[in-house]
A and B are shown apart, each in its own frame.
Chain A
Amino acid sequence: MKFTLSWLKDHLETDASLDDILYALTDLGLEVEGVENPLDRLADFTIGKVVRAEKHPDADKLKVCQVATDAGETQIICGAPNAREGITVVIAKPGVYVPGIDTTIGVGKIRGIESYGMMCSEREMELSEEHDGIIELPSGEVGQRFVDWLAENDPAKVDPVIEIAITPNRPDALGVRGIARDLAARGLGTMKARDTDPVPGSFPCPIKVTIDADTLDQAPVFYGRVIKGVKNGPSPAWLQNVLKAIGLRPISTLVDITNFFTYDRNRPLHVFDADKVQGDLRVHRAKGGETFLGLDEKDYTLEADMTAISDENGVESLAGIMGGLETGCTDETTNVFLEAAFFDPIRTAYTGRALKINSDARYRFERGIDPAWTPVGIEHATRMILDLCGGEASEVVVAGEIPDHSRAYKLDTARVESLVGMSLPADEQRASLEALGFVMDGDMAQVPSWRPDVQGEADLVEEVARIASLTKLEGKPLKRTQPGVPKPILTPMQRREQAARRTAAALGYNECVTYSFIDKASASLFGGGDDATMLENPISSEMSHMRPALLPGLLQAAARNQARGFSNLALFEVGAAFHGGEPGEQHLQVSGLIVGQTGHKDVHGSQRPVDVFDVKADAEAVLAAIGAPAKVQILRGAREWWHPGRHGMICLGPKKVLGTFGELHPKVLQEMDVKGPAMAFTIWPAEVPMPKKRATSRGALAMTDLQAVERDFAFVVDADTEALTLVNAAAGADKALVDEVRVFDEFIGGSLGEGKKSLAITVRLQPTEATLKDADIEAVSARIVEKVTKATGGTLRG
């Protein structure tokens, strides 16, 4: 919402400075978004008088002028045709910035003769488009500031333009008078009366208006009248200036008048060319399918139940949104039909949205105009039409009734203290409401017709606090919920999330936050991409589906980084993946991705390609950090984006998968443009069982001073025998004595022959009762060999 300071002062009698007004506006909730003050821009321009003007000896079109200025007589070269002796001009001295040519004036030589400044045209000072010559002022003293002269003689030119943001609840502030009312309530001045007497009609209105009975809820009231014998054409300069100042294009007097009231009073109006209206006007619900040519010269097809205004030819106006081109006013219009109506905000919003029309009228009607001012508004507009266009007004035709807006709420003056925490005398609270137009009847506050947003007692408190200024609110400490040391607040899952994140970072992974939506192809590669997780209105096809997993986003991040020349990557993300499109069909994942080498080439020869056992270690570390049990099963058979032979699922039983690690399928990498191989893990923190109860005690530590003994064994087994089977068999040989089994060597093929491999283990025996004797060790060794043989079919390697 834009307006000028002088426009505001048409409604508000005030001595307040511009700065005070701006501060109050923002503080009142009418946030100032910008101010354009010509006084700032033109402050350095001064008035001078041309004493002599002679032709430049080396240029036909230039004149060498001697100009009287506040700094004495100055020589200025000027190319303007009207530069001549005796005229009063506006001077930009060296050092002054001239906005219209975006230049700071310097001392220069023009064709060999020095020039000490510039005499300006209106365009050069951005006062108008006028550039036929330099300004000739009818008055003014040498040395006087030009802005002071303007303020005195042409105040519109130095009128500051203020732009404020209007929150959706304040339709009343979409009119300058509403803004003035807020400022007056704040104490920045008093409201000026701006009433007008009704214009009596001198003949019956030739155009009748009806509202269909089933349409009264969306178009409750319509006032209209014909004014005949008007002369349309360009509006007077003052009207053009105020509209131009706020960025509106003057069109014709009649249209400019409607625009004026739109901004002056938040009162949209419409003018029909009465001679183009066939028969009477009917306000009705559209059947659907009617077509309409708008003032914007676009065709619209109406949907059922939109509010239309039709004559015998069909739809001529979209109620509250846009008039029609067919019946619009032109410069030739002599008889005009003026409309002032009230249309339902919700219906207007739906229609405007459906037809994608953004107009000043829609913007205002969907927020809510003042229904009670409808009959007053038509009189104001009639008066201005008669004043500016002449003519003769008919009687007013009325259809429907002004909707009942009356309501009152109890002002609980103690509530401001208890809800806001501000101590305000009851009198002051009542005075604030009265200044805003509320009518107080005892404790009850009758809401003014222009405030549709006030719908309860809390709104009264808001108004009182707003006028008193929330800036003045003093903070008061919030009591602790309980005395003493605060208790922890994170849930076990939240702690897991943090632990997983910090562990992954400690393992050398860089945390990413990638978009939750992803393209369909990538989603499909990871089991998603179906319609349930599709967005109806994605901003691009790259972001069309909710991600089924974190890995596709990480792979895309890896591809981008590879394209930038980074080949060794370790990326991870912690976040939600979506397994459906209903609220709650999301689950937490932790995914890590490594590609390339373990590091750069180095003097230690430690560089090697990343492999499955890197991600296995990392997955295990993250699982350990979130409290997963150490004893797990490693199963195969995970989803199709994993390499079929090089992955494992970390499980507690076949149906309880805590995480998966492994190499990603080469085809997936190829489709996602990632140079592989790539190793990854995904962990589902919610799958890790919660401890049954939280006890801080660790249990007793069982330690013995008896010497542990380690023995190595090597077994030849079938190549597809899993090491874990062998380890478990060895560990089960004597659960009391075997403390630990470690695989330390794997050897495949060679002298062992096709399909065989050798696995070597170290078994650590920890006695608890007595030192182990050779015979004890022999006995347990034999049991280990027996168990392993039984479990794997392998043999002890000779």
Chain B
Amino acid sequence: MDDLRDKYISAISSASDEAVLEDLRVQAVGKKGEVSLKMRELGKMTPEERQVAGPALNALKDEINSALAAKKVALADAALNERLKTEWLDVSLPARERRVGTIHPVSQVSEEVTAIFADMGFAVAEGPQIESDWYNFDALNIPGHHPARAEMDTFYTHRKDGDNRPPHVLRTHTSPVQIRSMEAQGAPIRVICPGRVYRADYDQTHTPMFHQVEGLAIDTDISMANLKWVLEEFCRAFFEVDGVELRFRASHFPFTEPSAEVDIRCSWEGGTLKLGEGDDWLEILGSGMVHPKVLEAGGIDPAKYQGFAFGMGIDRIAMLKYGIPDLRAFFDSDLRWLRHYGFPALDQPSLQGGLSR
């Protein structure tokens, strides 16, 4: 019986393919195979002999079957390995191209600003870009003769012959949205008004269209000190610099009183702007306490309510934060610029995840 075992185990282990293996299976454990034949002989044996030979034969059969199965797997593995050896790809070849889109810095920064002010309870208000001169000027305490009107380089819309109404304007600031928001909502109110604004000016640092975000907070007890805190918090969060320092400088706007221009401490050392350090001051926004006449224009009683307003350039703070040199390029849609300064589609700014990467 050992002979039989040695014969088949060694034959199985040297089998070259599955066909040989199948032949061996038939010869050994097939119906008429040698092991099977031996098992038939068990009946002729004495019980004592059977006691010994039976288990031995069964064990032999199992062993051969296992060897066959193992060899079968080994042969398949070898064949697969042979095949894989021929399947080589130059994986350094470029992948299939996928277009990569971008978000414009103006949109991204608008969302950053929105995220910060939303946390402080400010909603987002929008309004018409073609405005009546009442909303753009008069309601903001800028009467017809006011020098500020001439200084704003206003775009006017064309009036047909015979249409003697004063021309509409392209809004020179988003302040008219403040008036419309007050009219619609009354006090208390907290809104920011982002959007396109227009001034007839084009040179190195001016474009005839740019973006502003203004803020308005009105309640019975809101003070200029609150304004300063809000702007400090905003600048710290937006510029992502803990040590932001602001300077309030008395100034004048027709729609606020008192008014202040706000400078941020910075350094220009080495030609790059660093906020929160250095000895220079950079003007970043205008602000103040809403003028009683403006509250009245918005239908809010100035004897009962007070509050602040501020405004800044979205393009400008985008340039400061992200080191973008030229305002005019914002509106040129040069693909190289869009790719370089644009933001990934899924980088949606949030306070919990951070405004920028």
Q: Which A residues lie at the B interface, using CB under 8 A?
A: 26-29, 31, 167-170, 345-346, 349-350, 353, 366-367, 418-422, 453, 456, 458-459, 461-462, 465-466, 470-471, 473-478, 480-482, 486, 488-491, 494, 498, 501-517, 531-539, 543, 546, 554, 557, 560-561, 564, 566, 569-572, 574-576, 578, 581-586, 598-600, 602-604, 606
> B45 interface residue, CB < 8 Å from A?
no
CB B280 to nearest CB in A, in angstroms, measures 13
Given the complex of chains A and B, what is the CA–CA distance between A64 and B77 in angstroms?
101
Q: Is the CB of B106 within 8 A of A535?
A: no
Q: Which stretch in B13-21, B68-76, B224-232 binds the other chain? A: B224-232
Known contacts A420-B224, A504-B101, A505-B102; A489/B122 CB under 8 A: yes
Closest 4 CB pairs of A and B: A421-B225, A508-B99, A475-B229, A29-B250
Q: Is the CB of A539 within 8 A of B97?
A: no
Contacting residues, chain A, for B261 (C-beta < 8 A): 31
CB B119 to nearest CB in A, in angstroms, measures 6
Offer 19 A-B interface pairs, CB within 8 angstroms, sorted by A.
A461-B258, A466-B250, A489-B124, A502-B348, A505-B103, A509-B99, A510-B101, A510-B339, A511-B103, A511-B338, A513-B104, A513-B331, A517-B209, A535-B155, A535-B170, A536-B155, A536-B156, A561-B333, A598-B99
Q: Is the CB of B208 within 8 A of A582?
A: no
Q: Is the CB of B147 within 8 A of A516?
A: no
CB A583 to nearest CB in B, in angstroms, measures 4
Residue in B119, B159, B334, B345 whose Cβ sees the most chain A Cβ within 10 Å? B345
Given the complex of chains A and B, what is the CA–CA distance between A74 and B9 in angstroms?
112
Q: Is the CB of A501 within 8 A of B118?
A: no
Q: Is the CB of A514 within 8 A of B331?
A: yes
> B357 interface residue, CB < 8 Å from A?
no
Q: Is the CB of B224 within 8 A of A421?
A: yes
Query: Who on chain B is nearest to A478 by CB?
Result: B226
Q: Is the CB of B330 within 8 A of A537?
A: no
Q: Is the CB of A462 within 8 A of B99?
A: no
Contacting residues, chain B, for A488 (C-beta < 8 A): 118
Other than the known A571-B333, A598-B99, what 4 A-B pairs have Cβ atoms closer than 8 Å? Answer: A419-B306, A508-B100, A560-B334, A603-B94
CB B345 to nearest CB in A, in angstroms, measures 4
Q: Which B residues lie at the A interface, using CB under 8 A?
A: 93-94, 96-104, 106-107, 111, 114, 118-124, 126, 128-132, 135, 145-148, 150-151, 155-160, 167-168, 170, 188, 190, 196, 198, 200-202, 208-209, 217, 221-226, 228-232, 247-252, 257-261, 289, 291-292, 306, 330-336, 338-339, 342, 344-346, 348
Given the complex of chains A and B, what is the CA–CA distance between A26 and B262 in angstroms?
12
Partner of A581, one of B106, B157, B258: B157
CB A98 to nearest CB in B, in angstroms, measures 27
Q: Is the CB of A366 within 8 A of B132?
A: no
Known contacts A418-B223, A508-B100; A583/B130 CB under 8 A: yes
Query: Who on chain B is nearest to A165 by CB?
Result: B251
Q: Is the CB of B258 within 8 A of A583?
A: no
Given the complex of chains A and B, what is the CA–CA distance between A367 and B150 in angstroms?
13
Known contacts A419-B223, A537-B156, A581-B168; A606/B124 CB under 8 A: no
Contacting residues, chain A, for B332 (C-beta < 8 A): 557, 560
Given the complex of chains A and B, what is the CA–CA distance between A559 and B200 in angstroms?
25
Partner of B252, one of A169, A353, A509: A169
CB B79 to nearest CB in A, in angstroms, measures 30
Known contacts A29-B249, A583-B128; A477/B200 CB under 8 A: no
Q: Is the CB of B202 within 8 A of A539?
A: yes
Query: Who on chain B is nearest to A507 by CB?
Result: B101
Contacting residues, chain A, for B106 (C-beta < 8 A): 513
Known contacts A419-B224, A419-B289, A536-B159; A586/B128 CB under 8 A: yes
Contacting residues, chain B, for A350 (C-beta < 8 A): 145
Partner of B225, one of A168, A466, A475, A572: A475
Query: Who on chain B is nearest to A502 by CB?
Result: B345
Residue in A459, A516, A571 whose Cβ sees the most chain B Cβ within 10 Å? A516
Given the complex of chains A and B, what is the CA–CA distance between A367 and B252 in angstroms?
13
Q: Is the CB of B257 within 8 A of A458?
A: yes
Query: Who on chain A is nearest to B145 by CB?
Result: A346
CB B207 to nearest CB in A, in angstroms, measures 8
Q: Is the CB of B103 within 8 A of A501?
A: yes
Contacting residues, chain A, for B345 (C-beta < 8 A): 502-503, 505-506
Q: Is the CB of B102 within 8 A of A476?
A: no
CB B194 to nearest CB in A, in angstroms, measures 10
CB A403 to nearest CB in B, in angstroms, measures 16
Given the complex of chains A and B, what is the CA–CA distance between A561 and B151 in angstroms?
36
Contacting residues, chain A, for B96 (C-beta < 8 A): 599, 602, 604, 606
Known contacts A506-B345, A583-B168; A465/B250 CB under 8 A: yes
Query: Who on chain B is nearest to A569 by CB?
Result: B335
Given the complex of chains A and B, what is the CA–CA distance between A619 and B202 in angstroms?
36
Contacting residues, chain A, for B200 (C-beta < 8 A): 537, 539
Known contacts A168-B148, A458-B257, A458-B292; A583/B135 CB under 8 A: yes
Query: Who on chain B is nearest to A566 by CB?
Result: B335
Partner of B335, one of A345, A564, A575: A564
Known contacts A498-B111, A531-B160; A602/B97 CB under 8 A: yes
Q: Is the CB of A535 within 8 A of B157?
A: yes
Given the complex of chains A and B, what is the CA–CA distance between A534 and B135 in angstroms?
20
CB B270 to nearest CB in A, in angstroms, measures 22
Given the complex of chains A and B, what is the CA–CA distance between A168 and B142 in angstroms?
11
Given the complex of chains A and B, what is the CA–CA distance between A737 and B151 in angstroms?
71
Q: Is the CB of B230 within 8 A of A535?
A: no
Contacting residues, chain B, for A353 (C-beta < 8 A): 150
Q: Is the CB of B226 within 8 A of A489?
A: no
Contacting residues, chain A, for B223 (C-beta < 8 A): 418-421, 476
Q: Is the CB of A475 within 8 A of B228?
A: yes
Contacting residues, chain B, for A169 (C-beta < 8 A): 252
Given the complex of chains A and B, what is the CA–CA distance between A477 and B120 in angstroms?
10
Contacting residues, chain A, for B209 (C-beta < 8 A): 515-517
Given the complex of chains A and B, what is the CA–CA distance between A572 and B99 in angstroms?
13
Query: Who on chain B is nearest to A578 by CB?
Result: B130
Given the complex of chains A and B, what is the CA–CA distance between A420 and B299 in angstroms?
22
Q: Is the CB of B258 within 8 A of A420?
A: yes
Q: Is the CB of A478 within 8 A of B156?
A: no
Known contacts A489-B122, A564-B335; A534/B158 CB under 8 A: yes
Partner of B258, one of A31, A465, A538: A465
Partner of B342, one of A478, A511, A515: A511
Given the complex of chains A and B, what is the CA–CA distance between A535 and B97 in angstroms?
44
Partner of B107, one of A482, A537, A557, A574: A574
Contacting residues, chain A, for B124 (C-beta < 8 A): 489-491, 494
Q: Is the CB of A536 within 8 A of B167?
A: yes
Q: Is the CB of A537 within 8 A of B155?
A: yes
Q: Is the CB of A561 within 8 A of B168?
A: no
Query: Who on chain A is nearest to B131 by CB?
Result: A583
